[in-house]
A = this chain, B = another copy of it.
Amino acid sequence: MSDRQPVLSLSELESFLFEVFPQIRGELTLESIGPMCAAMRLPVQEKHLRPGGTVSGPAMFLLADCTFYAATLAMIGREPLTVTTNLSINFLRKPAAAAPMRCEVRLLKLGRSLSVGEAYLYSSGVDQPVAHATATYAIPPK
């Protein structure tokens, strides 16, 4: 499994993500991809914040979901019908006020029909992860 490499470049994948999810253009950026992993970044915007300035749950969900999707598609190519079947998120710590967030996903298993991974979500200025998630995606049959 460690021989398996991404089949898309970072820019190819980012373009495809913005094509499938136009609303994330300008909202999330694809930072890096590698074998069975990806990282995305959420710079801070008013709409992501709760009163007090902390990043909202739905914004963290968006970041995690997109990063899992990116990590999977990096490995299998442009399969837009790949869908989330489960996403479970543990909120561990309060994010820093109005600070950008970063998500690192590592795929634990990439099968023919399912992709399973885990994500660590970080808030700039907070040392430990603010959230941890696991997700399962269904890969459509060819």
Q: Cβ of B51 and Cβ of A62 under 8 Å apart?
A: no
A116 within 8 A of B: yes
Number of interface residues of A (CB under 8 A): 39
A134 within 8 A of B: yes
Instruction: Give Cα A24–Cα B84 distance, bound, in whole angstroms.
Output: 24
Stretch at the interface among A8-16, A70-78, A87-95: A87-95
Instruction: Give Cα A1–Cα B138 distance, bound, in whole angstroms.
Output: 21
Q: Tell me the minimal C-beta distance from A112 to chain B in angstroms.
A: 9
A104 within 8 A of B: no
Among candidates B61, B92, B93, B129, residue contacting A58 with C-beta atoms closer than 8 Å: B61
- 12 further A-B pairs in the complex, CB-CB below 8 A; given A58-B61, A108-B129: A20-B51, A56-B62, A57-B61, A85-B90, A85-B114, A88-B88, A88-B89, A88-B134, A108-B128, A109-B128, A113-B138, A118-B118
17 contacting pairs across A/B (C-beta < 8 A): A1-B128, A22-B51, A56-B62, A57-B61, A57-B62, A58-B58, A83-B91, A84-B91, A85-B91, A85-B136, A86-B88, A86-B91, A87-B88, A88-B88, A92-B116, A108-B132, A134-B134
